[in-house]
Structure 1
Amino acid sequence: MTAPMIVVIIAIVLMLVGLFFEIARPDLIVFFTLFFFLMMGYVTPEQALSGFSNEGMLTVALLFIVAGVFERSGLVERLVGTFLAKSKSERGALVRLLVPIAAFSAFLNNTPIVVTLTPIIRKWASDHNISPSKFLIPLSYAAILGGTITLMGTSTNLVVHGLLLDTDSQGFSFFQLAWVGIPITILGLIYLIAAGPRVLPNNQSLIEKVKENTKDYLSEMVVTKDFPYQNQTVEEAKLRNLKGLYLIEIIRGSSRITPVTGQTRILAGDRLLFTGMLSTIADLQKRKGLELDTGTDLSMNDIQQNGTQLVEAVVSHQSSLVGKTIKQSRFREKYKAAVMAVHRNDERVKGKIGDITPKAGDLLLLVTGADFDQQVDHSDFYTTSPIEEQKFYESESKGWIALIVLLSMIALVTFQLLSIFKAMVIAVGILFIAKVISPHEARNSVQFQVLLLIASALGIGNVITETGTAGWIGSQIVHALAPLGGLAILASIYIMTNIFTELITNNAAAVIMFPIGYEVASAAGIEPIGMAVLVAIAASASFLSPIGYQTNLIVYGPGGYHFKDYVRTGLPLTLIVMVTAISVVYMIYM
């Protein structure tokens, strides 16, 4: 082992630790690790930056645009909503939900599917007096399983495809992964439908918990005629930056003011609604002209009037909110919404709201105005509760146009008349020409932080290869496991990849393990394409934790889950998928 290899291994271990403990956004951690390798001279600038022109990464960017059309059209939600409406039982609903979700996820980005279906599932569950926690983990798992069927089913497949192209291979054909993807999807859905209702908990949503314990979240004060700051702004009245308290709404007669800004004026008779550390409300009572209304029958329904809503939002991995306090991120001004509470691991985060630093997976309870939906930046967080009635920005006809275009391109790729990249370029071009999507909407659909993560990870993959680290690790694995046979070698690569994807992110896990798996395949006489299939499947099969895959993170808070719920439900599924994937790859490619 050479000195550069030792440095590379140490740096990657530190990167994995940083990703696991979320010391910064994943894309920034991976990018700065790549920058370090570049400064050390372990790769040329061309090799380090090759990920930014990688065909797989660029295809992911184009798919974000296509998926954006479907997300705005509401086509998938309407179809699934129709299926669910006919369900009468819990297990029947799971069948009607999971089968189409897996099918849609084979051709569409599964993240927006899970985001937009979560509110629909919760409403159906509420209407039928069933806990939504019985459905949300299965929703995520079905989306993950479906994404393993085709080349475009998940970004991980496209990333590994791009890595294969860099080795002068032809890459994956459109349905090459289906040899493994279809069996694991069928077996996985059977398990979820049969065992899901028994192993999943009965949890309340955050909004339901808050409604049952309103006084733990809200306190009301009345402005009397003695208030010395009448007709002055909230800032002038010194009602901003309170110790542990947050002014979220002002009720003035029949009207409501939310969110409350520093320039909002205070009038006599105003009812001020505070949230935060309500134990410190006594400090406000000492102020002249402010009286605590202890006899109020205030409920959450009282603030859900005149366009004011309670909304749950899950902080994403790529969120710009991570690493900043809520106050520093200027949340109220940016999103036209006030944070009422932050929940982490199904427990309320204590302290002053403005001083809380959100983490990926945190559940925010927001009090919003009527224009909130237009303000949402989906790269920062995902709204998982219905906003008023179900509504969509685009007509359903645009979704059908996009679907026809997409299916046409898929046919051309399947018959190898076009590469997946060229097909997506043409698809996006047609959508622009037909005015199905505008340049502004296309830009908003692309998750640039995800692309930076993928491109940087691809550069690190080159580092692992060029420094000989992949070759050295691969030779050690083959030397140690060759006496045990090909199955043991395949199992070792699968397990290593799967552990990485549970601890960090799926794309980073795939990029780190691909060069190692490729070297192992060459040394052990395994077809490299088979090893690539195994790495792609293992990197996507994240069922044991909420942090390894975006869709698991999305349902974590809304389902009121604990980490153990993923382990209890996901461990049997992980074993089913692992045994099936290794067996199929062994039979086809050994």
Structure 2
Amino acid sequence: MSEAIFSIAIIIIMFALLITDTYEPVIIYFATLTVLITAGVITVEEALVGFTNEGMLTIAALFIIVGAVQKSGTIFNFVNRLFGKNTGGRKSQLKVMVPVTLLSAFINNTPIVAMFIPLVRNWALEHNVSPSKYLIPLSYASIFGGLLTLVGTSTNLIVSGLLEQYGEKGLGMFEITYIGLPLAVAGIFYLMNVGYKLLPDNEDLLESVKKRHREYLVEMTVQPHCKIIGKSVEKAGLRNLKGLFLVEIIRQGQSIAPVTPTEKIQSGDRLIFTGQVSTIVQLQSIDGLKLETSSDAYLDRFKNGQAQIVEAVVSESFPFLGKTIKESSFRSRYDAAVVAVLRNGERIRDKIGNIKLRPGDTLLLLTGKSFINLWGASKDFYLISKVQDYEPHNGKGNLAVIAFGAMILLATSNVLPLLHAAFLAVAVLLLSKSITLKEARKAVNWNALFIIALSLGIGNALTESGAADLIANALVSLMQGFGPLGLLFAIYLLTNILTEIIGHSAAAVMVFPVAHSGAMQMGIDPRPLAIAVAVAASASFATPVGYQTNLMVYGPGGYKFKDFLRVGLPLNLLFMVISVAVIPYIWPF
């Protein structure tokens, strides 16, 4: 009993740290597991069980396979043909949601959403429609698709692996489709008829910057008599200005960006600053620097593409979370200067270098020409606003698609277990050089894998310490008058609440032991409760932080936190009602 209470107390502290965003999630999970090992709650072997879990290993293999398919350009070419003439708000929304749902049933939804965002935005702007009417539905549709197959989302694979770990039969490739399909249909119907009216009609961020570039940027011209001519940026006092940051020098029509501290100022240079525009008085005090107020030359640079402004969303894998932009040496590392940072739908009005970056922050970047090639597929960012050019797929590109299809076929027909089929596909792709070892390593989201593996260890501690039995006993007692259906409802609700707080994979891992213990105590089949855990963990619509695709569209759509609550909370309730009503008929207790 003491170990159970201790474990519950430690996990409550873990939740508190995750909610307050005190440290990076992977650090919090690692520290939690370390405390549980040190306290003797679980052994090292029991703590590291997640690193050999079949579900986790399958997810790792799928990252590589999907990376090869994405590299081939096949999906991009298919998606690019989907957008044509504007057929009206709701019908256009359907044109986005249906293919995203179907693609996300088989391919990790993160690259699908990353690929669709710039396409949807460009298409919407060409037809004078706000992208904010489409980006939340885009994210939600990818979540719908994840519930259609075993490989649709990591959550399904984790639950399947946990079922096998507890001596039960794992999930079939299309077993979850029986509940996922009606939920997807209901979700699309809701978004087209109710959600569309609730979605905001926001101005696109990049369009806003182009129209109001003077709110983001200050342009100063170096006059022939200016006293800083011939001095480096640092010696001229332009390196550590209060509230302002030099992002670009335009010299004889050519852009110098990012600007190094050793770059020397020349007569006629146009100096572009970003930050707190109200602090330009310090620049005006430099004799020979002229403030440009009436010229639209910089706006013309946006329009003709000379000023390469791209938009990137900070991911949970960003290596400098919690550090200031200056501390991260962002400019030199990424060959890009931060023009503005937006958080919760609002621009942070502070000196750029002093801003501490968080997951979901939207960065407006003035980039060098190499930025897209170097960082377009990086896990540091969820999204690059500029669409990457894909070469027509060749034989190796076709092989990636064939290998993926063969993996699905082998697993579905029970010729090979999914993990074996996935490993076989990876081997074929590496041996055929459809994807290089370096590209394979880059395709894997190591941060996500570590969190899943560590979470599985913590989940194991819940079982070994008796904490899962203790929590399950409380739930069974609470729902005693409602029978198995009441327990199903309680498990779904608990998972759904946790997924909005700590993320879908961790929520599934934490609740599964409780669900299994509750089923054993009540003497019922644990499978319907496991299905409820899988669905509830993925059905994260009410906050931008519960599911990574929500975080991806948060900034680009100009959304506020309340937009997800207004549109997503009714959808959460809809999914819960349908799931609790339908699951017992498909998987009897």
Shorter chain as normaliser: what TM range? Answer: over 0.9
Q: Tell me the residue number matched to 1:571.
A: 569
CA contact (8 A) 2:383 2:552 kept: no
In 1, Cα distance between equivalents of 2:392 and 2:312: 22
CA offset at residue 568 of structure 1? Answer: 1.7
User: Secondary structure, in 3 states, of the residue corresponding to 1:247?
Assistant: strand
Q: Deviations over 1:335-360 (max 9, x none)?
A: 11110001111111011000000111
User: Secondary structure, in 3 states, of the residue corresponding to 2:5?
Assistant: helix
CA offset at residue 397 of structure 1? Answer: 5.0
CA offset at residue 481 of structure 1? Answer: 0.8
Identity fraction in percent? 45
Q: Tell me the residue number matched to 1:58.
A: 57
In 1, Cα distance between equivalents of 2:299 and 2:173: 50
Q: Deviations over 1:70-126 (max 9, x none)?
A: 332332232222122255222222222211111110100001100111000000100
In 1, Cα distance between equivalents of 2:380 and 2:304: 26
The one of 544, 556, 580 equivalent to 1:582 is 580
In 2, Cα distance between equivalents of 1:262 and 1:173: 59
Q: Tell me the residue number matched to 2:18.
A: 19
CA offset at residue 430 of structure 1? Answer: 0.9
Q: Tell me the residue number matched to 1:171.
A: 170
CA offset at residue 305 of structure 1? Answer: 5.6
In 1, Cα distance between equivalents of 2:383 and 2:468: 41
The one of 509, 521, 524 equivalent to 2:522 is 524
- In structure 1, give the amino acid aligned to 2:146: G
5 Å matches for 1:235-250?
A: 235-250=234-249
In 1, Cα distance between equivalents of 2:391 and 2:168: 42
CA contact (8 A) 1:134 1:196 kept: no
CA contact (8 A) 2:68 2:435 kept: yes
TM score, norm. by length of structure 1:
0.96
5 Å matches for 1:149-548?
A: 149-303=148-302, 308-376=307-375, 378-387=378-387, 390-392=388-390, 395=393, 398-548=396-546
In 2, Cα distance between equivalents of 1:196 and 1:69: 35
In 1, Cα distance between equivalents of 2:160 and 2:194: 34
Q: Deviations over 1:185-216 (max 9, x none)?
A: 12111222222322211111211222222211
CA contact (8 A) 1:211 1:299 kept: no
In 1, Cα distance between equivalents of 2:142 and 2:578: 18
CA offset at residue 410 of structure 1? Answer: 0.8
In 2, Cα distance between equivalents of 1:340 and 1:385: 15
Q: Tell me the residue number matched to 2:143.
A: 144
- In structure 2, give the amino acid aligned to 1:378: S
CA contact (8 A) 2:97 2:137 kept: yes
5 Å matches for 1:50-89?
A: 50-89=49-88
Distance 1:301 1:509, change over 3 A: farther
Report the count of equivalent residues.
587
CA offset at residue 327 of structure 1? Answer: 0.7
In 2, Cα distance between equivalents of 1:253 and 1:382: 35
Q: Deviations over 1:457-513 (max 9, x none)?
A: 000001111000001111111122122122111000000000000112111101110
Structure 1 stretch 96-105 or stretch 106-115: which is displaced more? Answer: 96-105
- In structure 1, give the amino acid aligned to 2:581: S
Q: Tell me the residue number matched to 1:100.
A: 99
- In structure 1, give the amino acid aligned to 2:251: R
List gaps (5 residues or longer) in structure 1.
none
RMSD: 1.7
CA contact (8 A) 1:114 1:140 kept: yes
TM score, norm. by length of structure 2:
0.96
User: Secondary structure, in 3 states, of the residue corresponding to 1:262?
Assistant: coil
CA contact (8 A) 1:231 1:267 kept: yes
CA contact (8 A) 2:543 2:565 kept: yes
CA contact (8 A) 1:68 1:442 kept: yes
CA offset at residue 34 of structure 1? Answer: 0.9
Q: Tell me the residue number matched to 1:558.
A: 556
